[in-house]
Every structure is written in structure tokens, then in C-alpha cells.
Structure 1
Amino acid sequence: MDATHPDRFLIPTLSACNFVIGIGAFVIIGLLEPLGADLDRSAAQAGQLMTVYAVAYAFLSPLLVAMTGSVGRRRVMAAGFALFALAAFVSAIAPNFTVLSLARIIAAAGAGIFTPLAAAVAAALYPEAQRARVLAAVFFGLTLSQVAGVPAGSWIAYTFGWRWALVLVTALALPCIALIWTRVPAGLKFQPVSLRDLRDVLGEGRLMLAIGFTASFIGAQYVLFTYIAPLLSETMGFGRNGITLVLVISGVGAVFGNIMGGFLSDRLGWRITLSALCVAQILLMPMFSLLPVAPPMLFLLAFLWALGSWSFMAAQQTRLIALAGHRAPVVLALNAAAIYVGAAIGSAFGGALIAGFGLLALGIGAGVGAALALAHLTLSARLAPAPS
């Protein structure tokens, strides 16, 4: 196995590992009510666990990727996943909210090592003409976690207790370590990146503006997504089964969106793809402020919303790799961090909207966020640096 003939199971392995990462990161969304009830926290307070994870990921991911830039990729990726598995186990047995928050920080560190390096490895081992589709395939696991993992975790939490959902994450994480060790090429290294590369990228304003679009786009989604369970509970009267069904439907939309994003990016280019997705979200998300509606209409809305929400990553990663040159691992780490910066900002803003205006303000607030993301995209495209 080498760079010319990568293992045919490499991309499925990276995607499967991202599937587990996605469950561990986002399962909290489906646990907010049972977790909050058990640990004496409101839904908004329990939602702070997403913020804690997001902030930790944003800070630790680029730092750890830069610090390990001279170490073989297989070793670093396996170590990161082992750290993630340990954190999932500690989360499952956490006696209080403080310990759970600390475990989320450790989980973010492990995920922040693995996910950007998975994208960098895939991008480096396959030709440029296939890059968007390969990156979409690697990212597919994260989107698939929305279909199977997050709804399953929510159902388990409502049925057996929230801790068992995190036991599931631990059980899925352990075999991933072995998969990484057997499928990622041994000794795989690229031009080393360092803390100096991280510093240089952080100091390059136009490149950081391009990376920051990820935070803008994701932030708009998480104004609504973080609190979708309590919103559906209050407005639609949904309990465990209704909330799980909506999460499944949105997850199916996410899977199709991930595939669609790679297809559109390869054929239309990243700018048209990303602009169209922003416009779609501006139109769709405010409709959640009109709840309650007939369930079939809600299901269609959830599908279309997720379709657009999860279509952007292949186009954005393709754009950033072209700009990054040999610094791609650091730039992809910062891009992955920007996902969680956006999630943290969106979650915090959504919590503030709930406190000030109630749950029905979330859709309108998310639509405004999508309009800001479109403005950010337009500005960053105009000011983008020349490709490295």
C-alpha cells in the first residue's frame, strides 16, 4: 500500500471513524432533555455541553495537529482516536456536570486530531480531479451519524437513560483504533507542518477569512439544530418517537446532501455551490418559526433543511486545499475547528434567543445567520489569496 495505490478500504475506514466521531460529538443534541433532568440542568444549560466541546475543539485541534506535524500520520490518528474512546467512557460514568464537561474537552481533543488528518491524508493520496468526491466520502461518516447514530442515541437515552447512549459511542470507538492501525499506511508523512505554519496561517487574514466561512455557515445551522428537540417537544407535542423520527429524516437529508455537495462542487465549482446553499438556508430555516404545522410538512422541511446544511463541506474543503498548499493539514484543522466555533456561537446565540424571545425565535434567528454567512462568503471570495 502506497501513495500511488492507496488501500481500497482506506476511505471507508476514515468515513467509518468519522461516523463514530459524529455520534460522539452530536449525540448530546438528542440527550438534552433526559440528561438535563438527571443532572438538574435546563435544556439551555445542558446545551452548553455542545459549546464546551466546540470551544475545546476550536482551540486544541489546530494546536495538536501542528505540534504532531513531524510524527507519522497513522500513529497520531490512532492516538487521537484512543483519546476520544477514553473520553466517551468517562462521559458515560461521569458523576456530575463538571466531570462530564471535562470529558467533553478530552473528546474534542481526540476528534480534533483525527478528523482534519483524515481529510489531509485522503486529499494527498488521490488525484485532484477526484478530490471533492473523496473528501465528500470521508465526510460521509459524519453525515451518516445524523441518520443512524444521533437518532439511535436519542432513542436509547429516552428509553434506557442518557449514559447508555455514551456507552454505545465507547463500544463503537474501540474497533476504530484497530481499523486505523491496519488501513492507514505506516510511516505516512507529508511535508512537515509545525507551530510556525499554524502561526503563519493565523496571521494571513484573507486565508482566515476564507476558513471563517465554515463558522458562519455552521453557526446559522446550530442556532436551530442544538435546540431542535425542545422546539419539537413544545410546538409539535413530540416525545421520544416523534423527535427520533425527525432526526432520522433530517439525517437522510444530510446523507443525500453530502453526496450532492461533492457532485455540485466538482461540476459547478465551490462558489456557485456555496452561494446556492446559503440562499436555500435563508429561505428554509425561518419556516421553523411557523410551527406547529402538519407533520408531513415538518418532515419535508426537516429533510430539505438537512440536505442544504450538509452539502457545503466538500466545496469548502476543496476551496481551502487549493489555497493552502503544503499547509493543508493545518488549514483543514482550522477548518474543522471552525465547524465547532460555529456550533458554539450558534448554540450560544440560540440559547440567548430562547431566553429573550422563546423557542419560536430560533428559525428566524437562524435565517438571519444564513444571510450573514452569504455576506461573509461574498467578501471572502473577493479577498481570497492566490492559491499556493
Structure 2
Amino acid sequence: MTQPHSDRLLIPTLSVCNFVIGVGAFGIIGLVEPLGADMNLTPVQTGQLLTVYAVAYAILSPLLVAYTGQVGRRRILAAGVAMFVAAAALSIVAPGIMALNGTRVLAAAGAGLFTPIAATVAAMLSPEDQRAKALAAVFFGLTMSQVVGVPASSWIAYTFGWRWAFGLVVAVGLPCLWLIWTRVPAGLRFEPVTLRDLRDVLGEGRLMLAVAFTATFIGTQYILFTYIAPLLSATMGFGRDGIAFMLMIAGVGAVAGNVIGGYMSDRFGWRVTLTIVCLIQASVLPVFSLLPLPPVALMVLVFIWSLGSWSFMAAQQTRLITLAGHRAPVVLALNAAAIYLGAAVGSSLGGVLINTLGLVSLGIGAGFGAVLALVHLTLSARLEPLARPTS
């Protein structure tokens, strides 16, 4: 049942925390070159930090969410943020790539607890006709991390060194612990999910096919996104400022996509929205294999690509929450896991393309991925299981 709440700062608090997690998770994109130069690593080796994070998130998030289903939500949210901030602090003093990989696992565990639980809290404490809006608001923080946090992290890494970029995460993350403890209601619990719920969801093939679309779509994006900095450096001659600026343009596109995707989903439904998004990606991603382009044309290309990439989230989450019923926390955890599993597979495929065909092959490879995502969407939509009650 929905439990109304009166604290208007609850949703903004969850969104701010997601902003911190977005900076810590995706900021590695802007650290590929400075971190690699400092540790004498190739872009592919540095990019594997994202892969490690993604795989750890995919494995740990659904298990931790199910295992802690009977613990108060405020405690779990605070624990997730604390783990994430601790991982960033340890990254500052990490002596090498192996230690950094360890801190990425800890960060993934913290984020894997926080993000799906935050989405559940927002949905369950909001009237049913406002849940999509509440979810979009909570995930707005992740979107804004693309606009402000990732470019800022990149600029700091190029200017002062990559360790200072992790220091940024610590600085903005610590106040979030206080916000959670003062804004999330004490003793907050919903109908608990268990490891049995996780097992049951994993056994529903058609539901899992719907969840897996997230991995397919996100994987397509990360074939290119993981290596966008070295691609722009090699083809456009961009350095610190040029790369940070293009990441900012991508962030603006992400904000626009988050808003437009939510509107389109409400107006036309999730299936039409997701189909259009896949078609956009299949059209624009191959153009990245034509670089160099005039800077203005590249700005437009990056904006449209990012807009399409981030337009899918609201539609896909609305789809899954409708299907999941009371098991929404588990399904949202699996969906979040699918995001990072897709990121891991996509970044790995991008590395293979670079090693075999070179950086300019990334756009064409990602374009093929977008076509595959459209096929996956069509198949999973046709096999959609019946929706379960949401209360």
C-alpha cells in the first residue's frame, strides 16, 4: 500500500544522493586518459575499471536488496551511501590498478543497495498516479551527474590529477549521509522482499527478457561511451577542455532526454517511446565512425545521441514496475544490475573493437548494437507477461 509522506525534501534528497553515485560511477569515463598516463595503462586497461564496477553491481545489487529486505529503509540507504563514499576515499590512496579494482567492487555494492531502494521508496511513498514523476525526479540526480559531475570530474583529473576526482566524490558524498538520516522516515518498511522473491523473478523467463532489454540497450551505448575521450582525442585533437565540453553537451542531452522520455512515455506509452529511441540510436551512432566532423556538427551529434540514450529510462522503469507488483524492489535491482551488466559488456566489446579495428570502428559497432536492441524490444514486448497488481 502507498504510504503518504509530507517531507517535500525526501525526493530531492534521494536525487542528490543519486547525483553523487552518478559522479562516482560514470566519472571514470573522463579519467581514462589521465589515470592511464599516471599508471602507464592503455585506454582499454583503464576502461576495465568500469567493467569491474558494472559486473560487481550486476551480481551484488539484487542479492543485497533481497537479503536486506526486512531491514529499515533508512538504514539501508545510509549504509549504501556510506559504502560508496568509503570506496571513493580508498580510491584516493590506491597504489595501483588492482587496488582500484577492489574499491570499485565496494562502490558497486553501495550503489547497488542505494539506487534501487531509493526508487522503491519514491514509488511507494507517492500516489499511484504520480509514481512515474517521482521516479523521474529521483533519477534526475543521475542525469545531472552527466551534466555537471562527469565533466567536472574530467576537468579536475586533467588539471590536478585523477585522485582529486575521487576526492570530489567524498566531498559531496559525506553530507548525503546527514540528509538521508534526517529526511528518510525512521523505521520505514514495505512488504518485504526475500531471496525467494529474487529466485521467483529469475525463474520468469518473459519478465527477465523484459529486464534484459535494459542490458542490451545500455551495452550499445557503452561500446562508444566508455572510450569517447580517447576517440575525441585521436580524431578531433581534443584535450582537457574539448573533452570536458563535449561531456557537458552530452549531459545537457541527458537532461533533455530524461524529461522528453518521461513525457513521451505518458503520452504514447512505453513501447512506442522505446521503439523511437532505438531507431534514433541506430541512426546516429554510426556517424561517430565518420569523425572528424566540424565542431558544431559534433556538438549536435553528441546532443542527439545523449538525448536518445537517456530517453529510455522512464519508459523502461514504468514498464517493469507495472509488471513487478510488490516485487518491484527486486525487479528494480535487477534492472539496475542490467544497466551495469550492459555497461560491462559494452565496454568490453568496445575494447575488442579498438584492438581489432581501431577507435573509428566504435560508431559502427554501436549502431549494430542499436539494431539488436530494437529486435530485442520487439520480441520481449510480444512475449510480455500479464501485469501484476501494484498494491
How far off is 1:92 after superposition?
A: 1.2
Give the Cα–Cα distance (whole angstroms) in 1 for the partners of residues 236 and 4 of structure 2: 53
User: In the TM superposition, what is the alpha-carbon distance from 1:267 to its structure 2 partner?
Assistant: 1.2
1:341-356 alignment runs, 5 A limit: 341-356=341-356
Conserved in 2, the CA contact under 8 Å of 1:133 and 1:266?
no
Equivalence for 1:16 = 16
Deviations 1:320-350 (A, max 9, x none): 0010011000000000000000000000000
CA drift at 1:59: 0.2
Supply the distance in 2 between the matched residues of 1:11 and 1:312 (Cα, whole angstroms). Answer: 21
| CA distance in structure 2 between the aligned counterparts of 1:252 and 1:85, rounded to whole angstroms | 26
The offset of 1:127, in angstroms, is 2.0
User: What SS does structure 1 have at the residue aligned with 2:27?
Assistant: helix
Output the CA distance in 2 between the equivalents of 1:301 and 1:24: 26
Q: Secondary structure at the match of 1:271?
A: helix
Give 2:187's aligned amino acid.
Answer: G
* TM-score normalised over the length of structure 1: 0.99
Conserved 8 A contact 2:91-2:166: yes
2:175 maps to 1:172: no
Contact map agreement 1:220 1:370 (CA 8 A) in 2: yes
Determine the C-alpha separation between the residues in 2 that align with 1:203 and 1:357.
39
Unaligned 5+ segments in structure 1 are none
Matched residue SS, 1:293:
coil
Task: Note the 1:270-289 alignment, pairs <5 A.
Answer: 270-289=270-289
Which residue does the alignment assign to 1:141? 141
1:249 aligns with 2:249: yes
String of CA shifts for 1:274-294, please: whole Å, max 9, x gaps. Answer: 110000000011110000010
* 2:327 aligned residue: 327
Work out whether residues 4 and 127 of structure 2, in 8 Å CA contact, stay in contact via their aligned partners in 1. Answer: no
Q: Deviations over 1:233-259 (max 9, x none)?
A: 000000001001100011001011111
What's the counterpart of residue 33 of structure 1?
33
Contact 1:136 1:261 survives alignment (8 Å): no
SS state at 2:36 partner: helix
Aligned to 1:77: 77
| Post-superposition offset of 1:264 | 1.1
CA distance in structure 1 between the partners assigned to 2:338 and 2:92 by the alignment? 27
Give the 3-state SS of the residue equivalent to 2:359 in structure 1. coil
Task: Say which is worse superposed, 182-191 or 214-223, in terms of deviation.
Answer: 182-191
Task: Spell out, residue by residue over 1:4-42, the C-alpha distance to the aligned partner (whole angstroms, 9 max, x if none).
Answer: 234111111111100000000001000001101111210
Once the two structures are superposed, residues 348-379 of structure 1 have per-residue CA deviations (whole angstroms, 9 ceiling, x without a partner) of: 00000000100000000001101101111111
Matches within 5 A, 1:171-250: 171-250=171-250
Secondary structure class of the residue paired with 2:349: helix
Task: For 1:133 and 1:367, locate their aligned partners in 2 and report how far apart those are by CA, in whole Å.
Answer: 31
Residue type at the aligned position of 1:313: M
CA contact (8 A) 1:132 1:265 kept: no
Alignment gaps of 5+ in structure 2: none
- Tell me, yes or no, if the aligned pair for 1:151 and 1:244 is still in contact at 8 Å: yes
Aligned pair count reads: 387
Structure 1 vs Structure 2 CA RMSD:
0.8
Partner amino acid, structure 2, of 1:83: M
Q: Following TM superposition, where does structure 1 have runs of at least 4 consecutive aligned residues deviating by more than 4 angstroms?
A: none
Q: Which residue of 1 aligns with 2:53?
A: 53
Amino acid of the residue matched to residue 7 of structure 2?
D
Question: CA shift at 1:261, angstroms?
Answer: 1.2
Partner Cα separation in structure 2 for residue 202 and residue 351 of structure 1: 30
Distance 1:261 1:132 in 2: 11
